[in-house]
Amino acid sequence: MNRIVVVGASSGGLEAVRTVVAPLPVDFPAPICVVIHTAADSPAIIHELIGRVTRLKTVLANEMDRLQPGTIYVARPDSHLLVEPGLVRTTKGPRENRFRPAIDPLFRTAAQVYGPAAIGVILTGSLDDGTSGLATIKQLGGTSIVQDPADAMFPSMPESALTHVKVDYCVPLKQMAPVLMALTRETVTIAAPAAPPELDTEVRIAKEEDPMEAGLEQIAKPSRFACPECHGVLLQLADQTRIRFRCHTGHAYSIDSLLAALSEHIEESLWNSIRSLEEAALFLELLKKQLTAGEPENTSDTVAAVAADARKDAAALRGIVHARAPLLGSTRSR
């Protein structure tokens, strides 16, 4: 069976990918699919920046592109990149770990379609996207490669993969090209183990199928928590290796990404409270200036006192915002 290489990166990922692919020969015998976390409104130029340093053909992935050896397919902003037999797909499936494109959907489809012929590579990045997908690649007989955290600009993603997956290779960036060249020249003859039912469900969700029709309730049970994005009930997945969640609309979270989302929500709520208090103070201060002599004599003093309290409360909340650490800050380097 022909091999496929799937690569996931986040913070610092562009330069990391460029370093990995720069030495690869023009006759590299496998396709390479790349997901780098990007904002939805990012310009679609990552493939051009990668293409400047490599002899391989580098393209922005298009729906139903045929997978060709010696070609790098880069995920589009705001679209998941998936693989099917001999093809790539781009979808608007729900965000995973707060990102679209996300690494896990690409890795899961590579495991599902290619089994032992899949090679998953995790590079620099924050939090832990890619760990679940890399575990699936290993589960179905594929090969796992992780950048040495000491070599990574942002070590969290490699550290998470090393913690939760029995990784085959942990190497610095400059040693990855020789490893990939050796692996892709090997012929894979072993059969893939049977894919677990939860893999099919999660792949179907990434392909934009309704999560309930895809079987979400058969692989997960309701939790007491709400999705930070759509506020629906989060269901805890029956993942034996680590805790993960999906909501009824399909948004997926690891513990790390859920904590990060909750931390952002807390800070947003605090700033909204600060804004409300300061707007109230401004209104009351303006009202005090417009009070007429016919008002009760203590009205002006009362308005001034309430305005002062609002200012004081806003200042206290500002202090909390500036002093608080992210919920995940004490558990993993960022």
| Residue 178 neighbours by CB distance under 10 Å | 12
N-term to C-term CA, the chain: 38
pTM of the predicted structure, to 2 decimals: 0.88
72, 60, 91, 251 alpha-carbon torsion, rounded to 10°: 80
The pLDDT value given to residue 5: 98
pLDDT in tens, 111-160: 999 999 999 999 999 999 999 999 999 999 999 999 999 999 999 999 99
10 is catalytic: yes
Structure tokens at 70: 């010696």
pLDDT at residue 330 tops 60:
no
- DSSP state letter for 127: T
How confident is the model over 172-200, as a mean pLDDT? 92
The pLDDT value given to residue 1: 62
pLDDT in tens, 292-320: 666 776 788 888 899 999 999 999 999 99
pLDDT in tens, 229-252: 999 999 999 876 789 999 999 999
37 is catalytic: yes
pLDDT at residue 280 tops 60:
yes
Catalytic residue among 11, 37, 104, 257: 37
pLDDT in tens, 33-90: 999 999 999 999 999 999 999 999 999 999 999 999 999 999 999 999 999 999 999 9
Going by pLDDT thresholds of 50, 70 and 90, the confidence category of residue 187 is confident
pLDDT in tens, 161-178: 999 999 999 999 999 999
Catalytic residue among 104, 128, 129, 151: 129
Residue with tokens 């130029």: 45
pLDDT at residue 197 tops 70:
yes
Q: Which residues pair with 91 in a beta bridge?
A: 80
b vs e for 119-155, b when ≥16 Cβ sit within 10 Å of the residue's Cβ?
Answer: bbbbbbbbbbbbbbbbbbbbbbbbbbbbbbbebbebb
